[in-house]
Structure 1
Amino acid sequence: MSQSNSETTEIQLVVFKLGSEEYGVPITQVQEINRLMTPTKIPQAPPFVEGIINLRGKIIPVIDLKKRFGLTLADHTANTRIIVINIGENTVGVIVDAVTEVLRLSTAALEPPPPMISSISVDYLKGVGKVGERLLILLDLDKILSDKEKEQLSASEACAGNTNKA
């Protein structure tokens, strides 16, 4: 019934802004998008971890992606959002400047990231998508946290969720 072949596969992306750059993450890893709420600070957390939030009874660590990637910080606005994403076994909130759209992108429009596409390390990138005249930087969510950082966040959630030390 379908006339498309395997080369015209599409991915669906949630597109957001950090500064003037546009980024995309697979919608399959996005749980929800929320307005910014003030996270509760966690002692001894990495500098890019803003704290934790209680999302319908579940404790979720919140990461500021601009801090994580070493980008210029700016004040939060009415458009600032927390995107709740799944990274492996972890559910994490990431603070972004604005969520702009959800779009479908043909995998034929994807290219591997060039070494110096942005101020973000290529380690965090999956590729670059071409959307008309726009370039969309695709993040590899599984790599934005190291294994050690994932363990630290899991421990923080455990400590916040109960009084036992992790």
Structure 2
Amino acid sequence: MSSEIATNRKASRDFNIHDKYEAGLELKGTEVKSIRAGKINVSDAFARVEGNQVFLYGCDIQPWQTAGEWFNHQAKRPRRLLLNKREILKLSSETAIKGCTLPLLRMYWVNRRVKVEIGVGKGKTHSDQRHDLKKKVELREAQREMSRFNQR
């Protein structure tokens, strides 16, 4: 039983994703309440391997409004991802390759726990993005023609 919290649609546009990993996310209580309220933005989120740990940067979780300033959290603080040691070593070796990065693809609930899906991807060039857009337009036109043909 998993339900979407947020997706990063920019990631599939800007990166060629060739591998995906599921990770847990270390959060504070007020962050979970803010996520339940939908006050989250993952469009610029990415992960980075530092030592033997993986951290999530750029994930904007707004502070919980009714919490006092002592219990609240910072909006864009680095959050630790919970992965196996073997997965961390594999991610470390994959990101050592020039141009590879770990963008956050989506965030979702699994049994009352927040999980994130990160992908290992290489950045697309401008011509790659144009090529993908052209393929999408051609596919849409072909589907439109098929539906017109089937309506007769």
**TM-score range with shorter-chain normalisation?**
under 0.3
Larger Cα-atom Rg: 2
TM value normalised by structure 1 = 0.25
Higher relative contact order (CA 8 A, sep 6+): 2
Q: TM-score, normalised by structure 2?
A: 0.26
Greater helix percent: which structure?
Answer: 2
